[in-house]
Amino acid sequence: MTTSITLIQPDDWHIHLRDGQALQTTVPHAASSFNRVICMPNLVPPVKTTLDAIAYRERILTALANSTLSEERKASFDPRMVLYLTDHTSPKEIEQAKNSGVVQAVKLYPAGATTNSADGVTDILGRASVFEAMQKHGIPLLVHGEVTHADVDIFDREKRFLDEILSIIIKNFPKLRIVMEHITTGDAVDFCLAQGEHIGATITPQHLLFNRNHMLVGGVKPHFYCLPILKRADHQQRLLEAATSGNPKFFLGTDSAPHATHTKESACGCAGCYSAPHALPLYATAFESMNALDKLENFASRFGAKFYGLPVNTSTITLVKQEQTIVQSYDYLDNKSLTPLLAGQTLAWRVDE
């Protein structure tokens, strides 16, 4: 029986750190396990320009410097920035992003698709000049793959996006590198597999471990509510198979998204699961369920770096088969709390500190 796993230090290719005082909580949690993190730009206001991205990165690094993490962890943490694609993003902005050295990608949120996406693109196929510039400069497009038409069932939004939007972008811009973020369906797995090496996908711990029954049976459980929403068990199984397949198209992206507890546990609860502090034990649990712990390092530490054309980390982190109980909550903002995914429950794995 495996009792410990030592991995190359992983990166998180999709995370929400938020801004302001929230960074005091989220940045140390992310930096405790991950080296590079792709920081989502859906702030208020969004990170729309290279100057916005540089300023946001400085705020993240200030929070890191003020944390109690070891100097080694502080030195290793590298937040990589993302621009929020809008109807007004210009090719010139893409060139500036490339030249900045800190902007790693551009994020496509269909308007209204998720938290703070009101400034998202309303005419996705009308962004041709921007996609051409991204293709020219080698900047990946990160897609929240859902349509937002009111008449489309929420469980069908991802499939419709693949058929109606993403397939056309790929056809029109055949050299544009694209990450299908937080995929949730077997349809997305099949779509990704059918594309060239320039198309990859991230998979979250919640979509590997849970399906919509976990969220709905026995009463609505708001801390399982995220977007894209959890799907049927057969889709969950396809994601597990993809993540543990050893195919480099699939890599780690937690989509860890903090919301104050009172905004999650409300009549109109926010979408997002907060997993950053214990993401690696969650992934280990999922991979162990497939008897595939030997595939975890590539998924967590190699494939994402390869896709982004970055060097693999040289530091390591060790997981031990030792039970831990997830804390009920963290301090968050002014006198508020942040409830993590699986709060109060026991995981079989923990990070060896």
Mark the binding-site residues for substrate, compressed into ranges.
16-18, 42, 144, 227, 259, 271
What are the DSSP E strand ranges found in the chain? 4-8, 12-15, 36-39, 78-84, 103-108, 141-143, 178-180, 199-203, 250-252, 316-320, 324-325, 330-332, 336-338, 346-347, 350-351
77 neighbors 57 (Cβ within 8 angstroms): no
Residue ranges for the known binding site for Zn(2+) are: 14, 16, 107, 144, 182, 255
Catalytic residue check, 255? yes
Which residues neighbour 75 within 8 Å (Cβ) at sequence distance 6 or greater? none
Of the candidates 183, 184, 182, 120, which has an alpha carbon nearest to the alpha carbon of residue 148?
120
Q: Are the CB atoms for 79 and 62 separated by under 8 Å? A: no
How is residue 303 written in tokens?
A: 């494939």
Chain centroid, CA 313 distance in Å: 19
> Binding site residues, as ranges?
14, 16-18, 42, 107, 144, 182, 227, 255, 259, 271
Is the separation of the CB atoms in 257 and 16 below 8 Å? yes
In a 10 Å sphere around its CB, with 0-12 CB exposed, 13-18 middle and 19+ buried, how is residue 188 labelled? buried
User: What's the Cα-to-Cα distance from 284 to each of 73, 171, 325, rounded to whole Å?
Assistant: 22, 36, 15
Residue 99, C-beta contacts closer than 8 angstroms, at least 6 positions apart: none
Kindly state the tokens that stand for 95.
């060139």
Of the candidates 123, 255, 294, 331, the residue annotated as catalytic is: 255
The catalytic residues are 255
